[in-house]
Structure 1
Amino acid sequence: MQKDHQRLPCLAHLENAVQQYAWGDTQGILPFIDAHAGPGYPIGEVWMGSHGRAPSKLRLDAGSLPLDELIRQAPRHWLGDRVADQYHELPFLFKVLAAGSPLSLQVHPTLREAREGFAKEERAGIPLSAPERTFKDSNHKPELAVALTPFQAMAGFRSPGEISALLGPDLCDAFNFKGQKPEELRSFVRQVFSIKGDAYQTYETGLRVRSEGLLHSNSGKEREAAAMVLDLQSLYPHDPGQFGPLLFNILNLEQGEGLFVPAGVIHAYVKGSILEIMACSDNVIRAGLTIKYIDVDLLCDILKPHAKPALIRPEYERFDWGSRAVYATPASEFRLECLEVQANSPSTGISYSPFGPEILLCTEGGFHLRAEEELELRARTSCFVAGSCAKITLEGQGKVWRATSGGQAS
């Protein structure tokens, strides 16, 4: 066990795990973080954190070592006393994500649902690597997405009246949809997403005809939904997820805007590049728009029709060195800030005392970091700040994203 904190660094560069997916966009990742793709699918995500599925490595004198193992060996050094006592692990996972095509329609469980689901699958002996394994861990997954480029998503239900208007009389009759109350939407989703095989072709044809008609609507929102449906029919033929744009809100974020997605909110990221920070979990229950395992019944059990996503606009604070943008969410596991230092500012130095462990990602410019040791943080690189670090100073210019475990820096 590593007990002597004086022999462990406070700062270390990160070597991060690359995730390659069919929906990924390597060129959407590379402007923001250094990453290398192997053969196969494009890069969809770069993970920064200690999740057991794909932990980052810390570049130390002894070599590059997995962050989750280092935390187990010396939790109070790497996490700090507060986080070590409360969470016993790094409580957040930080990602760069780029969608070249839509991700799956999905929901995330509450903490209770995650613990029960994980325990059930463990008792059933389903391997963590099995395609039909849903709960990869026992944690919930509230998440915040911040747009690095113009970004589009589907998230949360439209009103029943809006759904009826978009579906039109023929599809409403086919599904016996009569503008149900919000609490009845769960059974409607189960009905739509459970249609399989040849039975779906009739609905698919009706959806195409309806969407082609909506392309000529006077409503920009109706045209937008119809165009997305037709795109999804091309990308995901015979997939009931094609109905998503008529059922769920389409959200368009500009660079710097955020979207908070709590447990139970159905959503799909459609296109664009984002930063994403979440509780340390990989629990995803899918309904469509994917080649991965789908569990419509479980999704409908976890689905919360009344739950809403929240558009998060940063709160700006001005300083003599530049600005700090804070993205406030209800989640206690994480906090995200963007520090932007202008080259012509009166001061280009920032000093603070970390509230817990941090991951810093520089997306523009470069910074010289000083704590008990020194480190150069260049554009498109990241580093880990130990929770036991008493004070850190950043000097330079550019933009650095600060992912933390929550709370304020002093």
Structure 2
Amino acid sequence: MTPPMRLAPVIQPYAWGSPTAFPELFGTPATGEPQAEMWMGAHPAAPSTAGGVPLTELIARDPEGMTGTSGPGLPYLLKVLAVAGPLSLQVHPSAELARAGFAREEAAGVPADDPARAYRDPFPKPEMVCALTPFHGLCGFRAPDEAAGLLESLGVAEAAGWVRTLRARPAAEALREVFQDMLGDAAKTARQAVERALAGAGGELAVYADLARACPDDPGVTAALLLNHVRLGPGEAVFLGAGVPHAYLDGVAVEIMGNSDNVLRCGLTRKHRDVPELMRVVDFTPAPPHRVPPAGVGGWHGYHPPVTQFALVRHELGEGAAHTVPGGVPQILLCVSGGVVAGGLALGPGESAFVPASVPELRLTGAATVFRALPG
């Protein structure tokens, strides 16, 4: 049996990240540059290491002992996000679309590192975020009538056609037509009028006014008015399934997702945008954000979204408390505050460990908040 092993995560310095959040929360060194994502897992693009060896390699050496019945690799990737500016407006494909898209681009010989490549692997990428600080973003489509009301409140004559469509057509059909039109070149004049009207807007429109200032002359600003704005307090979580458009805007959160890198973008970014392919993937069903309330007692808080790739448990350990957790599956532990001892391994804030499937159970002791990632 291989005991739990300390992980060295990978920090991604994306431009939208915060230069101060990780140092302030975890006491890690500041670099003066943005630190956007802390990756813990076995994603081929940026695997964590244990003892200087990539976790991907350790799993390949002993897939049964490391991942057990979960197969040769980890089905999930755990992250901490430190969001200081808007992420791109994006969607992720379903399993069926991911397989087909990956096969199509492989057959076409699109290089794996081509920025224009949409499908980098044949897997879906559902995800869930659980806030560590106040956190907010855009998630899924509003009811068309709500979106029409927001647009109408701007008093922009150029948006009148969108308002009529949103109020006259069946919901998904109306959202598809208006969303596509907002992203197209022909709507540039109308988008500019909307951005001018957003300048200095308050109330429910304030978040979109902030977007207009952060991403001027970006089609994603106007398209964002069709989306729900969701706010999470610490410990609250939201799930995003295949095809749900979203963009995180501000705050720090733990994120767990399918172990995939398939992202289709259409706005709020300078990265490659593939609107035609994105339109094939988007789910235009209006719905409120899919919140995932934690279930459990005695300091255990389980988050169980409707997927098989992952689940998440938050352990709140008081002084002298102990939680004994079942093993048999590959798990990642992340300490976000205090200090915890797990199977003889001590972890402080921002430190993580991989627990192989061969470990039958694990005892957590200390005074800490610990997240535990595992297959769903």
Q: TM (normalized to structure 2)?
A: 0.92
Structure-to-structure mapping, 1:164-183, within 5 angstroms: 164-168=148-152, 170-175=157-162, 177-178=164-165, 179=167, 180-183=169-172
Residue in 2 that maps onto 1:20: 13
Q: Give 1:348 shift.
A: 2.1
| Aligned equivalent of 2:34, options 4, 18, 42 | 42
Residue in 2 that maps onto 1:291: 270
Secondary structure, in 3 states, of the residue corresponding to 1:276?
strand
Residue-by-residue CA offset, 1:152-184 (whole Å, 9 max, x unaligned): 111111111111111126243354742232221
Residue in 2 that maps onto 1:218: none
| Aligned equivalent of 1:187, options 158, 161, 177 | 177
Determine if contact 1:99/1:269 at 8 Å carries over to the other structure. yes
Q: Distance in 1 between matches of 2:135 and 2:48?
A: 26
| Aligned equivalent of 2:194, options 182, 194, 207 | 207
Secondary structure, in 3 states, of the residue corresponding to 2:285?
coil
The question of 1:354 aligning with 2:327 is answered yes
Residue-by-residue CA offset, 1:265-321 (whole Å, 9 max, x unaligned): 111101111100011111110010001110111111101111643012212312xxx
The question of 1:136 aligning with 2:120 is answered yes
Q: Distance in 1 between matches of 2:184 and 2:295?
A: 42
The question of 1:391 aligning with 2:361 is answered yes
Q: What amino acid is the match of 2:230?
A: L
Structure 1 window deviating more from structure 2 (93-102 vs 355-364): it is 355-364
Residue in 2 that maps onto 1:98: 82
Secondary structure, in 3 states, of the residue corresponding to 1:145?
strand
Residue-by-residue CA offset, 1:315-337 (whole Å, 9 max, x unaligned): 2312xxxx111112101111101
Residue in 2 that maps onto 1:313: 293
Matched residue count: 369
| Aligned equivalent of 1:149, options 133, 155, 167 | 133
Residue-by-residue CA offset, 1:124-174 (whole Å, 9 max, x unaligned): 222221111111211101111001110111111111111111112624335
Q: What amino acid is the match of 1:316?
A: G
Q: Distance in 2 between matches of 1:141 and 1:35?
A: 29
| Aligned equivalent of 1:74, options 62, 79, 83 | 62
Residue-by-residue CA offset, 1:7-64 (whole Å, 9 max, x unaligned): xx3211001111111111132233445655767x5111011000101101112xxxx1
Q: What amino acid is the match of 2:195?
A: R
Q: What amino acid is the match of 1:317?
A: V
Structure of larger gyration radius: 1
Q: Give 1:213 shift.
A: 8.5
Q: What amino acid is the match of 1:208?
A: E
Residue-by-residue CA offset, 1:51-101 (whole Å, 9 max, x unaligned): 101101112xxxx10011111111011112x212xxx31000000001101
Secondary structure, in 3 states, of the residue corresponding to 2:228?
strand
Q: Distance in 1 between matches of 2:42 and 2:29?
A: 19
- Identity of counterpart residues, as a percentage? 37
Q: Give 1:352 shift.
A: 2.8
Determine if contact 1:18/1:36 at 8 Å carries over to the other structure. no
Determine if contact 2:182/2:191 at 8 Å carries over to the other structure. no
Q: Distance in 2 between matches of 1:332 and 1:32?
A: 31
Q: Give 1:188 shift.
A: 1.8
Structure 1 window deviating more from structure 2 (122-131 vs 356-365): it is 122-131
Q: Distance in 2 between matches of 1:176 and 1:363?
A: 45
Q: What amino acid is the match of 1:369?
A: A
Q: Distance in 2 between matches of 1:249 and 1:176?
A: 17
Residues 1:209 and 1:377: Cα distance change in structure 2 (over 3 Å): closer
Q: Give 1:212 shift.
A: 4.9
Residue in 2 that maps onto 1:402: 372
Q: Distance in 1 between matches of 2:112 and 2:26?
A: 29
RMSD: 2.0
Residue in 2 that maps onto 1:304: 283
Determine if contact 1:102/1:271 at 8 Å carries over to the other structure. yes
Q: Distance in 2 between matches of 1:240 and 1:204?
A: 7
The question of 1:249 aligning with 2:228 is answered yes
Structure-to-structure mapping, 1:92-131, within 5 angstroms: 92-131=76-115
Determine if contact 1:18/1:37 at 8 Å carries over to the other structure. no
Secondary structure, in 3 states, of the residue corresponding to 2:297?
strand
Q: Give 1:258 shift.
A: 0.2
Structure-to-structure mapping, 1:323-334, within 5 angstroms: 323-334=299-310
Q: Distance in 2 between matches of 1:203 and 1:248?
A: 18
Secondary structure, in 3 states, of the residue corresponding to 2:185?
coil
Q: Distance in 1 between matches of 2:372 and 2:27?
A: 17
Q: Distance in 1 between matches of 2:27 and 2:7?
A: 11
Structure-to-structure mapping, 1:371-390, within 5 angstroms: 374-390=344-360
Residues 1:307 and 1:264: Cα distance change in structure 2 (over 3 Å): farther
Determine if contact 1:20/1:37 at 8 Å carries over to the other structure. no
